[in-house]
A and B are shown apart, each in its own frame.
Chain A
């Protein structure tokens, strides 16, 4: 079972690499921001898998904090950085 959890965690980590493509390409600021939001979700899943794999329950708290605070970053983006970029692509 531990091997399955670690394989899944590794798979999700490689998925982050795919998401990185969207962060780099954009083209809009929102694309980049949403990609990091996806990173946050993936990180939550990885941490939950690692918590099971290593039998280390405190890692679930780390995942909980990630899940809660990702929303705050998203709100900060929408309220502060979004209107400047709404019309088109950010400086490419």
Chain B
């Protein structure tokens, strides 16, 4: 048994050191592309760290968002940066220029020291043996409608947090769209490899999204993980040159985008009227209500992420007039 503990210690030590080193390299690296590659590797190790901390739910979210979608988003952002700044082509030039105009180096330290002190104070003022709320969650789990405590907390006990997170995602997309007329990139026709890959992989991604949504009721999974896998399917199709039909880009797209927040809000109002408390489901129907909410949230998250990747409002019929 001691050998197992020793092995775990060694594994965790290397993992922790690797994470710190990768984080430092990713921040210190002057080349943006290299920083992105390091960040993707960082996401992979971070997911493993969550596994080591026995938090498979967080590991799944980190795998889906941190290591998967963020890499694609950052690479697309980098490509757009490069196409808008032609002088980036000159190797080594931009960093030197950037250093000259940058604020004095002590300025961030002055700003960050109070933040670090405040965080340190908060951590030190925590009760030494925090009991947490897991006992309370476990005691109320049978009225929660699902057997996975994380899903029960996210969708039932603290449902309003998730509702607000859905709105945050929507606001992010509104922000991107309000930047306006970003020229939408025309993709080259996909080669045989990409064409075959997207035909094979997109259905599997959609299937896995459905699986994660369903399994969330009793095991790690749920709307955010499923939504980001669905979003990855959208990203893959967009990269392969697929574009939303102009007729669907107006109302149907917007309906899909707001479905999650909308149904969540409707549920909040309904439960407020019926039960007298925000998002307090009747225990008998809690399971099915959570599934409905999660399904709508998955669709909205997936469509929002894919739309964020596209990086501009898709043109619709009215634009063509």
Contacts and interface: CB of A to CB of B under 8 A. Distances in A.
B235 interface: yes
B76 A76 contact: yes
B71 A43 contact: no
B287 to A, nearest CB: 20
Interface in B29-47: 31, 33-34, 37-38, 40-41, 44-45, 47
B37 A33 contact: yes
Given A40-B67, A75-B194, A90-B33, A59 B40 contact: no
B197 to A, nearest CB: 7
Contact of B75 (A17, A20, A40, A80): A80
Interface string B60-101: 100110011101100110110010000001011000000000
Interface in A31-87: 32-33, 35-36, 39-40, 43, 46-47, 50, 56-59, 61-62, 64-66, 68-73, 75-81, 84-85
B184 interface: no
Q: How large is the interface on A (under 10, 10 to 19, 20 to 34, 35 or more residues)?
A: 35 or more
A73 B41 contact: no
Given A65-B63, A65-B68, A72 B232 contact: yes
Contacts of B60: 58, 61-62, 65
A73 B197 contact: no
Interface stretch (B201-209, B250-258, B291-299): B201-209
A65 B48 contact: no
Given A16-B18, A72-B232, A91-B31, A24 B25 contact: yes
A28 to B, nearest CB: 11
Contacts of B75: 73, 76-77, 80-81
A13 B41 contact: no
B14 to A, nearest CB: 6
A51 B130 CA distance: 29
Contacts, number: 169
Contacts of B59: 59, 62
A82 to B, nearest CB: 9
Contact of A76 (B7, B71, B197): B71
Given A65-B63, A65-B225, A76-B239, A7 B7 contact: yes
A5 B229 CA distance: 29
B236 interface: yes
Interface in B10-29: 10-11, 14-15, 18, 22, 25
A64 B240 CA distance: 22
A71 B229 contact: no
B56 interface: yes
Nearest to B225: A65
A50 B55 CA distance: 13
A71 B197 contact: yes
8 contacts: A26-B34, A29-B33, A39-B44, A72-B68, A72-B236, A75-B194, A75-B240, A81-B33
Closest 4 CB pairs of A and B: A69-B68, A76-B72, A91-B91, A80-B79
Interface of A: 2-3, 6-7, 9-10, 13-14, 16-17, 20, 23-24, 26, 29, 32-33, 35-36, 39-40, 43, 46-47, 50, 56-59, 61-62, 64-66, 68-73, 75-81, 84-85, 90-92
